[in-house]
Structure 1
């Protein structure tokens, strides 16, 4: 206690300090406003705050108008009146005073409202203080925060634009990203212009909004006095911070953009690998100046755009090269085929924007063959690159050569597999080869790991045509399994054969059979014309996208323009059924005479009988006899085919003087105008043809 008493005795005499010195030290003045008397008393510091001398003030609040401008006085009175009316005990408000030198200075006042027992306001006591430094610091903090936020937003936009540009695969994609409403517009630019350097000139490739460019500046020389030309020449950004600077720096350009009300602009060189590839201009209509941080952001934006443009231009060059190679590998033209309508289409893959992968090994081909026949090929070499395209080109050529040499479809496929294996490449290929006789509609098809063809009927219905298959080309030779069974299909007049690669069928996450059923439905619903149908199918493939290329071949057997009476008859004959043989003879005899065979009816009947007998005697199992009446523009023919299950080929033999057999094929050769043997699946078909006399029916 003694210590505490001693300490108390050591305090200064003026402790504790009075309120007025405390307020003065904090640059605050006090006031007492008597509402009844209408007097407003201020202490000495309050006079200093209001920049008044005592002799300049008569104690009335109205006299403060000498320092408080009317708008500020009205705002101050409104705050006091609102506090009195609301029953508040205090109020606070910032207002400005005009100093004796004419400068405006921010001031703050805070008052306490004293009321009587009835609640009627009688006095207001409070303080006034100079708030200039306080508001200046607060404003600076606000501006710094706003600038930081604006810079953050701009940085986010640049990052978002850069991310969007990462997926751009063409110059047009880059332009679309920049003109998108979520792109550069959010940087606050009113308009955008961008040009690319081409042979010493700048060609304008983008403007937004439309009409933002100046007439006559679509193509300009780098030496001309324009801001984009300047940044290309100097490789340095150009920031124009006011209309006056724009007008002084570019007097030729400025008069043409005054209607855009431009207040500032940023022109950025687009530099890739230390060389200019273009320039971009951002024009603003609501700001002046570019802080250092914002300039750095815009320069980073220009760098990102330049890299995207260079990547897009390289991609387009690579794509053009790949497509040119692809087109060179595919047939330049498809030959016209008598009796058929042909349509072929190809769609390149789109594999994630990877350079050189918009090309693949899919191909089609159409090969004219002797005797009114045609070979249709569809194939797919493994992979999506120039190597796959090169292998495809070689394989297409050799397969065409083997077919043109007259080999059977199975032999063509086997030899192509051996060729691919001997190329010593790591690629294999799937393929389907169909050899069609358009006069008869018989199609012999072989399949090497490929998907089945489709046949669309003349009534619009469509079905999958199963073709027994072998291993893909290359693999069958590697594993010594070169047997390719032949399947026989019938293509009636008006029917369409559809061959395609799996890019038209397969989709990620779906089953191949589901894809084939979907394609069958699309073909059935499609137009009758093969070209229109091909266009529709390839358009759907493009809309669906996908990472595989697509090849498509459609062959429609035409309906004869002037069909004659006749058609096709087919009969099964078995060795142990003599009645079936007799029935077949009677049936064919009636058909031959009805079809106008005339004097050759007996010859046709005899040749048919010999072929049937030969099949039943020298093979095991039944025979299928087909009789067709053919009419190709006035060339009327009748064709007899006898199919059996034996792969052994018939041969002519001299019967000798006393022989009772061996004369069958000799008779067929002497009686008919043409005859031959064709492989049919695991067996064969022996055929002969007779020319019929022309007659009007």
Structure 2
């Protein structure tokens, strides 16, 4: 009897699917099962698909793709429909792929099967719609969890927590292809030392993980007998774990087998096409997650190397001073950018503190930052004054940008902000030159934070020859200076004003020892408050969520011990003090003067007195700018203990002309300065000097009569 007659007798047909020519060939019995005349027929792919139920066709595609990838048998149930879409019968297809990639053919059988009756064992063995929905939900959750994992350890942790629908593995292991060897990089469900025999094996080992990595094909072992038959030596090592089924799947990323994933089961698993499909999908997602983690960890290693090569260590032994510094890179891309800080010993014995920010968060920004930092160190080491250092640095950066005309070259030009501070450790004198950078802030000895406005020029690199005026500030004993890049101030949607308000609350609420011993803790607190709990700094873990680079420097001038002053055990509280110069050409700095007064009096209990002080300062400084040709030098100081403090403000100028009281009319726009002083000040006066004069007023915390109510 011919083979065709035997197959026809058992209602089994033959068919071949050629994926290259997109044709499907059926023998006579196969054509009959498809509802066609019982004769050999060759159909186009679309014509053959029209005979399959649309829902079943989607599932068949997945099973075929899985079989092609694994080189295994593809089995599926398919409902056959007629031209009207009515179901004629259900058939079982069993095919095996031949070929590689997209150039393959499927050859197999197709046979009619009866529909299972409800309650029978056959009905119970079918995959239900609920199982498929659970499978899809599981794959979505697994994909999301693996996509969020950023390191190899996180990927392995997620893999260990996967709970597959209907067949949960009790043991998992991930093997990597490293240097031509098979190495175990993670496992779950095993005790300490259980997997020591599999830590490092040669690629040629007779081991399922090694075979999977060598061939790129999955290995399914449904029973211990299958394991013992195929890998007898390895089975002797794993038999003690008591598992019944194993699946070893290749981890393929970008067309390269990077490792193998093992799932072991304590109950027998037959590895149906649906189960293999789930395992294969998880293996693909796991391979992609491991590939991303490897790239991320390589970038992290490169980032840390760049940071360590570019970021200096601060000098810990400055006489009478303490320094703390932090650099936290951005969270995007290579995680390295253009922010930097530096500490430079000067020929004069002084110290230069530098902080800056090159535009951008990429490799070019990091490269320019390194070049600019070296140039600044060279100019500072030559002994140039702060303004000359920044002028030369601006010319240097402009030279790197070059004289460009093309749009791409213009777009690639970069500028940099910078703050250069020459520090005299013995006197606390700070000579500051600023190039478009945020101003420094001073934490006074009583904890109050004041942003100190300083003169400045354009960012470096915009105009080659630019002047950078300098400002002088004395850091008193017990005071701390903060300089930082805008990443610390403006992260989290803050602008310059609200950002400084946030930092003020942090700094004023953080206690500092008399010798500045916990300055490092303050630096950590500042970064944590902006970004949340850290997992890594430049010298430790990198934080996880970062909008912009952060660089910050803290400089504290230590307060001398009471014994050194010859004072009693409890020394009096030092005054709270600020000094500001308002030049004739900078009338806009009157607003800064008002803000300085409000910041200085932030805890003054009488709000009316604070408003009075701001009004009088505005009037006094304006009079200097309007009626003289010189600058106004504002000095404000709060002294004494809470409840009995004194606020004194001095405004000095170089004019010998003393103010005199006038009697302005109702519509006059000026002439009320001394009238306001008499009404609002607790005391006031004018002191002539050798060159110029000094106008002053005082307010007393215990005096509640001076205020705006005095005007009425």
Which of the five TM-score ranges fits, normalised by the shorter chain?
0.5 to 0.7
- Aligned with 1:285 (options 263, 266, 271): 266
Match of 1:509 in 2: 493
User: d(CA) in 1 for partners of 2:159 and 2:450?
Assistant: 49
Match of 2:243 in 1: 262
User: d(CA) in 1 for partners of 2:523 and 2:448?
Assistant: 16
SS state at 1:225 partner = coil
After the TM superposition, which of the residue ranges 171-180 and 497-506 deviates more from structure 2? 171-180
Structure 2: give runs of 5+ residues left out of the alignment.
Answer: 1-113, 402-411, 513-517, 534-544, 580-627, 636-651, 656-712
State yes or no: 1:359 paired with 2:325: no
After the TM superposition, which of the residue ranges 295-304 and 282-291 deviates more from structure 2? 295-304
State yes or no: 1:391 paired with 2:368: yes
State yes or no: 1:188 paired with 2:146: no
Cα offset for 1:146? 3.2
SS state at 1:153 partner = helix
User: d(CA) in 2 for partners of 1:251 and 1:543?
Assistant: 53
User: d(CA) in 2 for partners of 1:463 and 1:475?
Assistant: 30
Match of 2:445 in 1: 458
User: d(CA) in 2 for partners of 1:201 and 1:395?
Assistant: 45
Give the TM-score, by structure 1 length: 0.57
What does residue range 46-65 of structure 1 map to in structure 2 within 5 Å?
none
Asked whether the 8 Å contact 2:449–2:508 carries over to 1, the reply is yes
Deviations 1:422-469 (A, max 9, x none): 211511111111112221112122222222222223333333222233
Match of 1:83 in 2: none
State yes or no: 1:169 paired with 2:150: yes
Cα offset for 1:238? 0.7
- Aligned with 1:232 (options 185, 189, 213): 213
Asked whether the 8 Å contact 2:319–2:426 carries over to 1, the reply is no
Cα offset for 1:337? 2.2
Match of 2:474 in 1: 490
Cα offset for 1:155? 4.0
User: d(CA) in 2 for partners of 1:513 and 1:209?
Assistant: 54
Cα offset for 1:165? 2.6
Asked whether the 8 Å contact 1:430–1:450 carries over to 2, the reply is yes
Asked whether the 8 Å contact 2:440–2:482 carries over to 1, the reply is yes
Asked whether the 8 Å contact 1:454–1:520 carries over to 2, the reply is no
User: d(CA) in 2 for partners of 1:423 and 1:644?
Assistant: 44
- Aligned with 2:287 (options 306, 324, 339): 306
Match of 2:278 in 1: 297
Give the TM-score, by structure 2 length: 0.56
User: d(CA) in 1 for partners of 2:166 and 2:491?
Assistant: 38
Asked whether the 8 Å contact 1:622–1:644 carries over to 2, the reply is yes
Asked whether the 8 Å contact 1:417–1:474 carries over to 2, the reply is yes
State yes or no: 1:216 paired with 2:197: yes
Deviations 1:260-290 (A, max 9, x none): 4422111111123443221111111233211
Cα offset for 1:405? 2.3
What does residue range 92-131 of structure 1 map to in structure 2 within 5 Å?
none
Asked whether the 8 Å contact 2:146–2:155 carries over to 1, the reply is yes
Asked whether the 8 Å contact 2:314–2:325 carries over to 1, the reply is no
What does residue range 566-645 of structure 1 map to in structure 2 within 5 Å?
none
State yes or no: 1:404 paired with 2:381: yes
Deviations 1:480-521 (A, max 9, x none): 6x2333222221122211111122222233333212111122
Asked whether the 8 Å contact 2:167–2:269 carries over to 1, the reply is no
Change (3 A) 1:440 1:249: same
- Aligned with 2:395 (options 418, 437, 461): 418
Match of 2:297 in 1: 316
Asked whether the 8 Å contact 1:447–1:470 carries over to 2, the reply is yes
Cα offset for 1:392? 0.3
User: d(CA) in 2 for partners of 1:152 and 1:622?
Assistant: 78
Cα offset for 1:325? 2.1
Corresponding residue pairs, total? 443
Match of 2:526 in 1: 537
Asked whether the 8 Å contact 2:314–2:342 carries over to 1, the reply is no
State yes or no: 1:200 paired with 2:180: yes
Asked whether the 8 Å contact 1:214–1:257 carries over to 2, the reply is no
Change (3 A) 1:332 1:554: closer
Cα offset for 1:381? 0.9
User: d(CA) in 2 for partners of 1:420 and 1:454?
Assistant: 27
